[in-house]
Structure 1
Amino acid sequence: MIRNKVISAAEAVALIRDDDVICTTGFVQSCIPEALHAAIEKRFVETGAPKGCTLIMCAGAGDSKGLGTGRLHHDGLLKRVIAANFGRMPKVAQAAAENRIHGYNLPQGVISQLYRACAAGQPGLFSRVGLHTYVDPRLDGGKVNAVTREDIVKLVEVEGEEWLFYKATPIDVALIRGTSADPAGNISMERESLTLDVLAQAMAAHNNGGIVIAQVERIVEHGSIKPKDVKVPGILVDCVVVAECPEDHRMNYGVQYNPALAGEIRVPVDAMPKMRLDERKIIARRAAFELPLNGVINLGVGAPDGVASVANEEKVTPYITMTTEAGAVGGVLAGGSSFGSAANAHSIIDQNQMFDFYHGRGLDLTVLGKAECDAAGNVNTSRFGGRLNGCGGFIDISQNARAVVFTGTFTAGGLEVAIEGGALHIVKEGRARKFVRNVEQITFSGKYAQMRSQPVLYVTERCVFELTPDGLELIEVAPGIDIERHILAQMDFEPLIVKPTLMDRRIFTDEPMNLMDDLLNLKLCERVSYDTDRNILFLNLEGWNVRKKGDIDDLQKILVDACVKAGKRVHSVVNHEGCRIADDLYDDYAGMIQHLLEHHYATTTRYSTSAFLRLKMQEALSKRGIAPHVFERQEEAHAFLLEHVSGVQAGFKNGAASLDAHCRMH
């Protein structure tokens, strides 16, 4: 006979013993088994049990005001916490800060994948995620306070490469959530916005001889859930609890139920609200210029999630695939209390599977927030101002995306700006500096990013920095901003300054930017001109950005077409002033030059005042056996052309001045 597993919340949590290891589901404010958390809190307050438990969770699961895992703050209930996020349970974070409990802050994706390791009976997980951050044992090993002594993260070497080994912690109790359950405990999730790690968590607890408690919205007849719709089979579930109060089974703390986030309906994207033009939208607009068409993108919470709105306004959404670490693929990413979900999603996959994709370098771009940044390009989002926030999925994502854009206002605490006439004006400066001499904790390592040639930008409302081998370089400044007064005077260090360009004025005008023209390189052909009499091809790449390999392909096609039209090998001179090539694309760019030299160029030379670009270009070309011919000033590039191009000197009576005039015209 089929055992009826439906019991009350009080009966279910009575099965939890002292010193048990408890894992719970939930992502930020979504998919939280609130009734179970409330029942544990009630039992402990009334009876003092269970006590001395360990809590394991991935992302934050609460409202930061006492709901979710915030209910477990009572002294004695927890003795240890292993979590990616502490910010949504501030009283638990305070207990850790005051050394009243032991604590570890590990990357969200690592914890998510450790559930699978536990389920499979494995001792732990090998991963590169966390190297050179505070999770690395050479720094803090993920420990959050002085009383936490046990090492659960070890540095190991495998075939000459550094790895981190994360020790698995066997799980005794899994608190999961679904929509429907039959009496046998088969769970479906049709009205949930995300599936997260419920299957892996249930399997981890069950295979360890523990218990699995599932909170659901309703009970259905046995056999009425289709086999493929069963997310957690009944063989893994010990208890089913129906949330008696609708408030305890909200889709998220701000939304009772949204059928679009559950994938039940599709909504017209044109009806989505437009962001007002403020500092947050300025940042999102500038970051949107980095979007790779046909690429896969992750957006963080806060300032970054505005990029989704900008992409929708600019009609770019159909040409990119947005994702969240929680498992949403495609569609329009939701913000606020619904962060992690998506309307019109293509699919929803488990959180641990999404982190498989992220850890395997499947992301083309991530846009993330930042709390503070230092001269080396290190970023801190996990612990600052004496507050333990946690890394969430920040480390997993930032270390493994092909390119990273960090976003946030230049200062914090009372910043007021005005946008008038296509320019930015600082009305009131923020009280707190974000660009500091040394970050309090390294959540992202600039040095490690440079070691792996990872392209990194830092976008604010008033300027843009780029990570170089020598630290941060100021590369763009907003119209209306004075570098000395509004940038350098508000930083604890001086960045590299070579020749910053003006941020695109379209960003500061409350009209469509026609972003697709830039992302598709539709106006790239206007940068090429050909002097028939002197057989010289002029290429003006001033201010142009090579963000993805497709940009190089587009440029090569335009140059090949121009050379073919010329009907013979041409001499070329290229203006790279203010041009930015992503760190990991210099070899591809050099490959394009090699192809042109082999098939279309007679001679080529280029110039830029950026020492970083010249160095990287010289390295990339030299590796291919090509003489670099990369100069600092245009006069030097033109002189080289005059000296080495035979048969054209007769047309150069005015020497380099003639070339200079032509470049200025184009």
Structure 2
Amino acid sequence: MQKNKVLQADEAVSLIRDNDVIATTGFVQSCIPEALHAALEKRFVETGAPRDLTLIMCAGAGDSKGLGTGRLHHEGLLKRVIAANFGRMPKVAQAAVENRIQGYNLPQGVISKLYRSCASGSPGLFTKVGLHTYVDPRLGGGKVNEITTEDIVRMVEVDGEEWLFYKATPIDVALIRATSADPSGNLGMEKECLTLDVLAQAMAAHNNGGVVIAQVERIVEQGSIRPKEVRVPGILVDCVVVADSAEMHRMNYGVEYNPALSGEIRVPVASMVKMPLDARKVVARRAAFELPLNGVINLGVGAPDGVAAVASEEKATPFITMTTEAGAIGGVLAGSSSFGASTNADSIIDQNQMFDFYHGGGLDLTCLGMAECDRQGNVNTSRFGGRLNGCGGFIDISQNSRAVVFAGTFTAGGLKAEVGGGELRILQEGRSRKFVQAVEQITFSGSYAARRSQPVIYVTERCVFQLTQGGLELIEVAPGIDIDRDILAQMDFTPVINKPVPMDIRIFTDAPMELMSDLLNLKLSERVSYDPERNILFLNLEGWSVRKESDIDDLQKVLVNACEKAGRRVNSVVNHDGCRIAEDLYDRYADMIEYLMEYHYATTTRYSTSAFMRMKMQEALSRRGLQPHIFERAEEAHAKLAEK
């Protein structure tokens, strides 16, 4: 006989026992099985059961005011929480801070992929994600308080390399959500904006002998969901609960339903509202200069949100693919309560699959916020000011993206700045400093990134820093800003300072920046001049950035063209003052020089006031058996050329 799986919410949650391990779905404010959370809360308040549950979740799933997992704050209901984000359930976070419950704060992608480990019967997950951050057992192992003592993260060595092993926690109950269910429990997600980890969670609970409870909007006829549209097969589902009101099954807390977010329709997308020219837009404009054309990017919440708006203003959006860690690829990324979804997305994949892509190095660039930063380039976004916020996907994304931009205002809490006339003026400093002697918690390890030659910059409204082997280096300063008064006096440490260049004046003028001409290197040829009498080719790269391999390709084409016009081998002098070459591209840049030396140059010299750049260039050229000829001053470079 066919089992009727449709139950009332209170009947379904009555299957949850004391000490069970519960996994629940949801991303920020979207795809939350609100009716199930409410029924679980109601049962506990009325009966005192079930008690001492372990809650496992990825991103925060709530409104920060008591909905979603925030309903589970009642004393005695939870014993332990394993989560990537605690900010959406502040009362639960406070209980962890006060040692009333055990807690672990692990990377979102790790938790997402651990569901698959549980489903397949694997003991856990091997990954490099989290090395040298607070998740590393040498720095705390992700434990959030003193009463949390069990080690669920271990450091292991395989073939001489360090890895982290995350222990899988068997799941007893999965609370998931879909749009439709047939009487057999087959689930369709046609009106959901994300699919997240519902399949992996259901499989993990089912294969552990547990219970899978699905909240849906409606029951449909048996067999009416086409096989390829069944996202969770009925063999994995024990109970189906139909939400008793639209309020309990909103797409997210701010949107009842938007078919453009679920991918059911495509809609015309009007241009984004133009941002006012303030400190936040200055940060976004400068970060936009790092966008990799034809690349895949991820944008975090906060200041990085503005990068999408600037890209739209500057007509760059068609040339980049934006993604969210929740699984949306392409389209126009949604904000506010819909964060994580995308209007007119190209595709929506499961969250754990997106983290496979991220962990494997699929991202060309990520732009993320920062709460604290120190002299080593360490960044903290997870725990500060006595508040447990959590890392979310920050560690997964920042450690594995090819290049990273951290973006935010220089100080926080009351900062007032005036932008106009090509300048920036600080009217009032924020109450809190972001650049501190040592971050409270390491969510991103600057020294680890530097050892791996990961390109990292830190963009603020008044200056830009670059990560080097020696820590933070000040490389750009906004016009109108005094380094001593507005930068050094507002930091707890002194960064490396060589010869910072001015930030692009276009950033501080309320007019289109012609960003695409820079991203496409359309004016690169203007940096090259040739003196036929002395047979010297001058290349002025002052203030230019080598952000991606295509920049080097573009430069090589311009130089080859200039040399061919000269009609003979030339002697070149290159000005690298204020030029920035991404950490992982020095070898590729040296390859270009080697090619030019073989086919077009008679000799070449170059100069830069940056000791770091001179060192990196010398290393890369010496490995190729080339004489570096890199000097600190232009006079030295010209004198060397005169010797020939």
TM-score category of the 2 structures, normalised to the smaller one: over 0.9
User: How far off is 1:183 after superposition?
Assistant: 1.2
CA contact (8 A) 1:64 1:70 kept: yes
TM-fit CA distance, 1:276: 2.0
Cα offset for 1:411?
A: 0.5
Kindly indicate whether residue 266 of structure 2 is the aligned counterpart of residue 266 of structure 1. yes
Tell me the CA shift for residue 39 of structure 1.
Answer: 0.6
Indicate the residue corresponding to 1:310 in structure 2.
310
Identify which range, 272-281 or 539-548, moves more after superposition.
272-281
Cα displacement string for residues 524-549 of structure 1 (whole angstroms, at most 9, x for unaligned residues): 01001111111111100000000000
Match of 2:228 in 1: 228
Aligned mates of 1:417, 1:535 — CA distance in 2 = 49
Q: What residue number does 1:338 align with? A: 338
TM-score, L = length of structure 2: 0.99
Letter in 2 for 1:553: D
CA-to-aligned-CA distance 1:123-181 (integer Å, 9 cap, x gap): 00000000000000111011000001000000000111100000000000001111111
Amino acid at match of 1:582: A
5+ unaligned residues in a row in structure 2: which ranges?
none
2:462 and 2:478 in contact (8 A); partners too: yes
Query: Counterpart of 1:436 in structure 2: which amino acid?
Result: V
Alpha-carbon offset, residue 256 of structure 1: 1.1
2:438 alignment counterpart: 438
Q: Which residue of 2 aligns with 1:365?
A: 365
> What one-letter code is carried by the residue in structure 2 that aligns with 1:642?
A
Contact 1:107 1:392 in 2 (8 A): yes
Alignment correspondent of 2:530: 530
Distance between the aligned counterparts of 2:147 and 2:555, measured in 1?
57
- CA deviation digits over 1:375-419, x for unaligned, max 9? 000000010001111000000000000100001111011111111
Q: Any gaps of 5 or more consecutive residues in structure 1?
A: 645-666
Q: Does the residue aligned with 1:537 lie in a helix, a strand or coil?
A: strand
Q: Deviations over 1:193-241 (max 9, x none)?
A: 1110000000000000001111111111111111111100111111111
3-state SS of the aligned residue for 1:56? strand
The answer for the alignment partner of 1:587 in structure 2 is 587
Alignment of 1:58-207 (within 5 A): 58-207=58-207
- SS of residue matched to 2:112: helix
Residue 388 of structure 1 pairs with residue 388 of structure 2? yes
Give how far 1:514 is off. 1.2
**Distance across 1 between alignment mates of 2:618 and 2:391:** 38
Structure-2 residue corresponding to 1:649: none
Give 1:53's aligned residue.
Answer: 53
1:557 maps to what in 2?
Answer: 557
> Per the alignment, in what secondary structure is the counterpart of residue 260 of structure 1?
helix
Equivalent residue of 1:280, what SS? helix
Alignment match, 1:659: none
Shift of 1:294: 0.8
Q: For residue 269 of structure 1, report the CA deviation from its aligned partner.
A: 3.1
User: 1:317-361: per-residue Cα shift (whole Å, max 9, x none)?
Assistant: 111111110001111111111111111111000000000001101
In structure 2, what is the equivalent of residue 353 of structure 1? 353
Please state whether the residue corresponding to 1:95 is helix, strand or coil: helix
Write the mapping of 1:424-435 to structure 2, written as runs, cut at 5 A.
424-435=424-435
Partner amino acid, structure 2, of 1:456: V
2:271–2:312 CA contact under 8 A, matched in 1: no
Amino acid paired to 1:398:
S
- Please give the secondary structure, in 2, of the residue aligned with 1:117: helix
Look up the equivalent residue of 1:341 and give its one-letter code. Answer: A
- Aligned residue type for 1:637: A
Partners of 2:368 and 2:405 within 8 A in 1? yes
2:58 & 2:118 partners in 1: Cα distance?
A: 15
Provide Cα deviations, 1:244-268, integer angstroms capped at 9, x if missing partner: 1211111111111122211122233
| 1:312, distance to aligned residue in structure 2 (A) | 1.4
Partner of 1:324: 324
Q: What percent of counterpart residues are identical?
A: 80
C-alpha separation in 2, matches of 1:260 and 1:51: 41
Q: Secondary structure at the match of 2:22?
A: strand
Deviation at residue 20 of structure 1 after TM alignment: 0.3
2 CA distance for matches of 1:241 and 1:276? 46
Shift of 1:477: 1.0
Amino acid at match of 2:266: R
Distance (Å, rounded) in 2 between the aligned partners of 1:210 and 1:229: 25
* Alpha-carbon distance in structure 2 between the residues aligned to 1:31 and 1:475: 43
**1 CA distance for matches of 2:269 and 2:632?**
48
Q: CA deviation at 1:507?
A: 1.2
TM-score, L = length of structure 1: 0.96
Distance in 1 of aligned mates of 2:490 and 2:360: 38
For the residue of structure 2 that corresponds to 1:526, the secondary structure is helix
Q: In the alignment, is the contact (CA less than 8 A) between 1:305 and 1:333 conserved in 2?
A: no
Q: Distance in 2 between matches of 1:84 and 1:175?
A: 17
- Partner SS state of residue 80, structure 2: strand
Aligned to 2:611: 611
Letter in 2 for 1:27: F
SS across alignment from 1:266: coil
- Structure 2: distance between partners of 1:274 and 1:616: 40
Which letter does structure 2 place at the counterpart of 1:97?
V
Distance in 2 (alpha carbons) for counterparts of 1:574 and 1:266: 50
Cα deviation, 1:603-633, whole Å, max 9, x if unaligned, reads 0000000001000000000111111000000
Of the structure 1 ranges 543-552 and 257-266, higher mean CA displacement relative to structure 2 is found in 257-266
Contact kept in structure 1, 2:24 and 2:174, CA below 8 Å: yes
Partner of 2:241: 241
1:462-481 aligned at under 5 Å gives the runs 462-481=462-481
Tell me, yes or no, if the aligned pair for 1:408 and 1:459 is still in contact at 8 Å.
Answer: yes
The amino acid across from 1:415 in the alignment is: L
Do the aligned partners of 1:269 and 1:312 also contact (CA within 8 Å) in 2? no
The residue identity in structure 2 corresponding to 1:75 is E
The answer (yes or no) to whether the contact 1:317–1:331 under 8 Å persists in 2 is no
Shift of 1:273: 2.0
Which amino acid is the alignment partner of residue 627 of structure 1? Q
**Deviation for aligned residue 1:15:** 0.6
RMSD: 0.8
CA distance in 2, matches of 1:505, 1:3: 69
Identify the range of structure 1 (502-511 vs 613-622) with the bigger mean alpha-carbon deviation. Answer: 502-511
SS in 2 for 1:2: coil
* Structure 1 residue 305: Cα displacement: 1.6
Q: Give the drift of 1:2.
A: 3.0
Q: Which residue of 2 aligns with 1:660?
A: none
Contact 2:420 2:510 in 1 (8 A): no
